[in-house]
Amino acid sequence: MSPRRLIVVVSALAALLSAPDAGAATNPQVAGLQVALRAHGLYAGEIDGIAGPATAAAIRAFQMRASLQVDGIAGIKTRSALGRLGTPLLGRRILRQGAVGWDVSVLQFLLRRAGVHRGAVDGRFGPTTRKALVRFQRRAGLSPDGILGPATLEVLDVSGLSIQRGRPRTVSGSMAYWSRHYGVDTRLVRALAWQESGHQNHVVSAAGAQGVMQVTPATWDFVETVVLGKRIPHTADGNVRVGTAFLANLLKRFGGDERLALAAYYRGPAAVRKYGLGPETTRYVANVLALRQRM
């Protein structure tokens, strides 16, 4: 992953938030964003987990008010500026009564969607939320302690939140599994991973890109928050999953053009659209495509 991508990669959020299609998918993390924006008086719509035009407009209005770059991107800086309801993403901590935050909003949204929460989705873990969580835990055959820990979070997989089970996959197995899962040519994923790290998960670049797929923190955040809407474990398997999901997202955004998608993986989608490939990126893309023939 190119160091220059560290910032520009998150620009993909703008397109997803400002121009959803008619069949826009529900993303539980977006519910957390909507609650935070509503608390600032900028979002009056339904907490539906869909990044529609009203959500995008509210993000921009908040960024203008907070003297942030007005780009419609619900990135780390914007979420931090939202205050207590802007962080953290669900799965980053154990939740119990008294907690306040983005993750509480997402939990309430998921519990409501599961039919056990009748209270407000407001990011505040009060008695009503605890009772709803207890109902969910009893239904799932879990200890009804009213605390969201790893065991309960795992059961919430039906809502798009997962924790890796069983024996870890090998790196090769991960690339085969996630490429099939996201509909990407396995040989292309293998070639990209070889170009980036030589299939080594311990590699860390000067820009902070990590692992097999050389994923920057900004890209990981983007994939968790926007592309998948779920927390991904920071394991070798998780790294391959995030990188593959990001590549699949780029292929979709660039109309299936592998050259442009690979260039965007290396240089960032905004830079590719604005400046094209350039000599360095052209060589990178050519190397990956040549490697694919040997994978």
Helix (H, G, I), strand (E, B) or coil at 210: strand
Inter-residue contact 62 to 132 (CB < 8 Å): no
Distance, in Å, from the CA atom of 178 to the CA atom of 185, rounded to the nearest integer, reads 10
Asked about 258 being catalytic, the answer comes back as: no
- d(Cα 118, Cα 95) in Å, to the nearest integer? 19
Give how far Cα 292 sits from Cα of 6, 62, 139, 185, 263, Å.
25, 44, 48, 9, 15
> Choosing from 46, 154, 196, 258, which is the catalytic residue?
196
Strand partners, 100: 124
Residues 6+ apart with CB under 8 A from 242: 213, 215, 219, 220, 223, 224, 232
For the annotated catalytic residues, the residue numbers are 196
